[in-house]
Every structure is written in C-alpha cells, then in structure tokens.
A and B are shown apart, each in its own frame.
Chain A
Amino acid sequence: MSDLHTVNKSPFEKPSLDTCLRLSKPGSSILLYEDGVYAAITGTTATDKVASALADKKVYVLEPDFKARGLKAERLIEGVEMVDYAGFVDLVDACGKVQAWL
C-alpha cells in the first residue's frame, strides 16, 4: 500500500518539500497543509517541482489552510486535488503509513 507524506512547510522557508519529493516512492500521495499549501500554486519557483511530481504521485492540498492564506482556486496547479479535513482523514485511512516531513 502506498504511503502518505504530509508537508506543512512553505517551500520558500525549508527544504521539507524537496526532501519529500526526493525520497517518496512513485505511487505515493503527498498532502500539502499549513504553510505547505504555498507549494500548490502556479507561478512560483516550486510550481515545476510539484507539477512534475504529479507524473507518478498524487498531490493534495488542504482547502481550509489554502483559503486561510488568501489563495485562490484559480491558481491551483492543475492535477492537485483539494481536500477538507474529512478528506485528510480519508487519505490517512487509505494509505499505508503516514510520514510527516516536519
């Protein structure tokens, strides 16, 4: 069963996302929440990394955290899926292990 990786750091603050993308296996899921949601928008230096990760991984973003930071759905990278807390729970339920990249 594939694992769920959670990233709660902005890609402009810490290398958590880079580490996660480098070490997570193809087929795994990545949830961006808290400041990690900044990685889910277009037009940044992190956009290409996330967009190319979508080739063999699933990427999700936590909607309440995305909206709390004033980000608009129009700027969401195509292929990144929005989930709420119930969706977060479902992701954990469906995955193998949960790896938090704190």
Chain B
Amino acid sequence: MKFAIQVNEGPYQHQASDSAYHFTKAALEKGHECFRVFFYHDGVLNGTRLTTPPQDDRNVVNNWVELAEKYDLDLVVCVAAAQRRGIVDEGEAQRNGKDATNIAPRFRISGLGQLVEAAIQCDKLVVFGD
C-alpha cells in the first residue's frame, strides 16, 4: 500500500510529529511505501537542522532525517508556511535576500501542489495535527 503523510504541528509543542514519525516508520517496516511526507503549518518546523534538544531527549528532526536516509523518503516543507516561520533553503535565501539557510538534509521546500499530488497518487493520506 502507498501512504502519504501530512504533519501539521511542530516538534516538541505537540505529539503529532512523533505520532506521524512512528506511524511512518511502522508502515515502512511493514513493507508499505510512503509516497511523501508533507509538512504544513507549524509542521514546517520539523525541517530545521538548527535544533539542539537536550541529549536525553529525542531529536525529532534527526529522526525524520534518518528515516528519510534509510527509506529514501520525500520530505516536503510547504513554502508559504516555511517563509512565515523562517525555514530557508538556498533558493529561498536568494529569492528573499536572507543571510543564512537552515533546512535540514533530506528536506526540500515546495508548494501545496505537492500535497495535492501526494493525495492523488497515494492509496491513503493520513493526517497528523492538533
């Protein structure tokens, strides 16, 4: 089965991101396919590589990155939500005149069309949020 995942909340504020991660991991371990994980609203905050949680706490961002590396996941951050919240890649930094980037590896910034495409292409879209 082909899943698509939508994450609407940032890490540490709400359990949604953890739930989405554990669900995606369990699905992949069962041999299912994940077409895309789309981070929307505060969910885009899962895509900054600059987070430094305490060492005895889980690192939500790194969890996503490692899962993406293992299973070649497509982690997509909504561009409009990212601009509002300061999630920046090279292209966005140039376009908007920013002096730095913070996008985590394996994440990419793109538009809402990616969510629509994921919803069309997948068998099931599962939404995690508040």
Query: Residues on A close to B: CB < 8 A?
Result: 6, 8, 33-34, 64-65, 84-86, 88-90, 92-93, 95, 97-98, 100, 102
Interface residues on chain B, size class: 20 to 34
* Interface-facing stretch out of B18-26, B47-55, B61-69, B108-116: B18-26
Q: Is there an interface contact between A89 and B19, defined as CB atoms closer than 8 Å?
A: no
Query: How distant is B47 from chain A, measured CB to nearest CB, in Å?
Result: 21
What CA separation (Å) do A100 and B130 show in the bound complex? 10
Q: Is there an interface contact between B15 and A100, defined as CB atoms closer than 8 Å?
A: no
Query: How distant is B87 from chain A, measured CB to nearest CB, in Å?
Result: 22
Query: How distant is A94 from chain B, measured CB to nearest CB, in Å?
Result: 10
Query: How distant is B63 from chain A, measured CB to nearest CB, in Å?
Result: 14
Tell me the number of A-to-B contacts counted with CB atoms below 8 Å.
50
Query: Residues on B close to A: CB < 8 A?
Result: 1, 3, 8, 15-16, 19, 22-23, 25-27, 29-30, 32, 124-130
Q: Is there an interface contact between A89 and B30, defined as CB atoms closer than 8 Å?
A: yes
Q: Is there an interface contact between A102 and B27, defined as CB atoms closer than 8 Å?
A: no
Q: Which 3 A-B pairs have the closest CB atoms?
A: A85-B26, A100-B127, A89-B27
Q: Is there an interface contact between B22 and A34, defined as CB atoms closer than 8 Å?
A: no
Q: Is there an interface contact between A85 and B25, defined as CB atoms closer than 8 Å?
A: yes
What CA separation (Å) do A58 and B130 show in the bound complex? 23
What CA separation (Å) do A92 and B3 show in the bound complex? 9
Q: Is there an interface contact between A89 and B26, defined as CB atoms closer than 8 Å?
A: yes
Query: How distant is B6 from chain A, measured CB to nearest CB, in Å?
Result: 9
Instruction: Find the A residue at minimum CB distance from B8.
Output: A102
